[in-house]
């Protein structure tokens, strides 16, 4: 049996933090309080309390993760499901998650696992759902099931950084890759730690206004934008996803701003996935996104100069396919999660242009 409660990394006793913008309260009031540095909430956590994610707890001045080795999900998924369309296309990825999340997105599709640690029944207890799954077992299962990568996904991997990092450190020795599906809210310290082992990341750019991030996700936009730029600079393969929610983040202006940000700051070769929303969790009063809104967003992305813009959650849509950015010939045909490739090892088989695939 794995002891899921393990001392966390990336935290400081408040009294040890130097004065400045990163220390959220005065040292004289610090007592046994600590400050977590895993994500940009930088929660100040009192003795016996948990951070916003609900899975990192202060016990007598020490921060503990409550979810080490406790997998709430272990699935074998097509990498296209994450979605990654340009990273190892056509392969399978062993996907792991623990409970908990640092965001509170009102439309979360995985709220049953991401938000459960914040529910009343769990608030005052350290009971954590999930099965024992050691890092060694994750590697073993990936190899046994022909998965060349491990995906840290479904919930936000930053909140289970200790578990993720221990797995990540083992993968490269076994010729496996690491991919994160993330809200991009980690701190620079977290990025520094994962950088040597992280092969690809899909970051949700959920909207392009502080209002949306605050009202819908209980977070801030700016750190996400800064991290996207940083990730690109570090040379980690990056794809971006935006779920379009009617009236919330789907104005033409906002879509244009996102597309221009990606083009200018992340590069025109960065794939942008624009996905359809369906009512769920706390957002059941809105209709699903109209298909033509998604298609319009794809066109906005292409007009802004992005080479690869994809629709999501519309199975069979032609905007799921990859076309050569130069001669426009179809190079990857996608139906749902199954694909057929016509490229020549990442190059257009007709004109030889680079398709920006990581194979
Ligand atoms: S990882 Fe959790 S405890 Fe740490 S700062 Fe983020 S929300 Fe707070």
Question: How many Cβ atoms sit within 10 Å of the Cβ of residue 166?
Answer: 16
The rounded distance, in Å, linking the Cα atoms of 262 and 268 is 7
Residue 21 is given by DSSP the state: T
Q: Is 39 in the pocket of ligand 1 (CB under 6 A)?
A: yes
- Smallest CA-to-CA distance from 159 within 36, 62, 61 is with 36
* Torsion angle, alpha carbons of 333, 151, 187, 61, to 10: 160
Assign 23 a pLDDT band (cuts: 50, 70, 90).
low
Q: Which helix (H) or strand (E) holds 110?
A: none
8 in contact with ligand 1, CB cutoff 6 A: no
What was the pLDDT predicted at 129? 83
52 lines ligand 1 (CB under 6 A): yes
Residue in the structure block whose two tokens are 């623990």:
98
pTM above 0.85, yes or no: yes
37 C-alpha vs ligand 1 centroid, how far in Å?
7
Q: State the distance from the centre of ligand 1 to the C-alpha of 34, rounded, in angstroms.
A: 11
- CB of 73 shorter than 6 A to ligand 1: no
Tokens encoding 114: 């991401």
275: tokens are 């996905």
Q: Measured from the CB, is residue 53 less than 6 Å from ligand 1?
A: yes
Tell me the DSSP string of 318-342: GGGSEE-TTT--EEEEEETTEEEE-
Q: How far is the C-alpha of 40 from the C-alpha of 63, rounded, in Å?
A: 16
Residues 68 and 70: their CA atoms lie apart, in Å, by 6
Tokens coding 58: 């202060």
pLDDT of 123-145, one tens digit each?
Answer: 666 677 889 999 999 999 999 99
pLDDT at 20: 66
Place of tokens 């809104």: 293
């Amino acid at each position: 049996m794995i002891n899921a409660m393990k001392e966390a990394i990336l935290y400081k006793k408040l009294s040890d933090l130097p004065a400045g913008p990163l220390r959220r309260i005065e040292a004289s009031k610090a007592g046994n309080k600590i400050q977590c540095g895993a994500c940009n909430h930088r929660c100040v956590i009192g003795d016996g309390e948990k951070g916003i994610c609900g899975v990192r707890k202060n016990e007598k001045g020490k921060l503990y993760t409550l979810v080490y080795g406790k997998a709430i999900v272990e699935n074998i998924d097509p990498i296209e499901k994450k979605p990654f369309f340009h990273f190892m296309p056509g392969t399978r990825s062993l996907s792991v998650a623990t409970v908990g999340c640092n965001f509170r997105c009102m439309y979360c599709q995985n709220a049953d696992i991401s938000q459960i640690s914040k529910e009343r029944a769990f608030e005052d207890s350290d009971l954590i759902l999930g099965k024992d799954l050691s890092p060694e077992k994750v590697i073993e299962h990936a190899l046994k099931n022909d998965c060349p990568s491990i995906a840290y996904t479904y919930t936000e991997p930053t909140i289970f950084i200790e578990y993720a990092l221990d797995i990540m450190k083992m993968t490269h020795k076994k010729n496996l890759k690491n991919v994160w599906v993330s809200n991009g809210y980690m701190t620079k310290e977290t990025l520094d730690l994962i950088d040597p082992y992280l092969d690809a990341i899909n970051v949700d750019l959920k909207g392009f206004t502080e209002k949306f991030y605050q009202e819908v996700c209980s977070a801030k936009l700016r750190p996400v934008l800064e991290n996207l730029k940083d990730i690109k600079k570090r040379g980690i393969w990056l794809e971006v996803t935006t779920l379009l929610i009617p009236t919330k983040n789907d104005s033409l202006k906002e879509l244009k701003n996102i597309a221009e940000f990606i083009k200018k700051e992340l590069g025109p070769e960065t794939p942008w996935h624009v996905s359809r929303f369906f009512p769920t969790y706390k957002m059941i009063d809105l209709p699903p996104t109209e298909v033509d809104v998604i298609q319009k967003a794809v066109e906005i992305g292409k007009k802004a100069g992005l080479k690869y813009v994809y629709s999501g959650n519309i199975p069979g849509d032609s905007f799921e396919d990859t076309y050569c950015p130069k001669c426009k010939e179809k190079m990857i045909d996608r139906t749902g999660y199954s694909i057929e490739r016509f490229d020549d090892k990442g190059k257009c088989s007709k004109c030889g242009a680079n398709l920006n695939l990581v194979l």
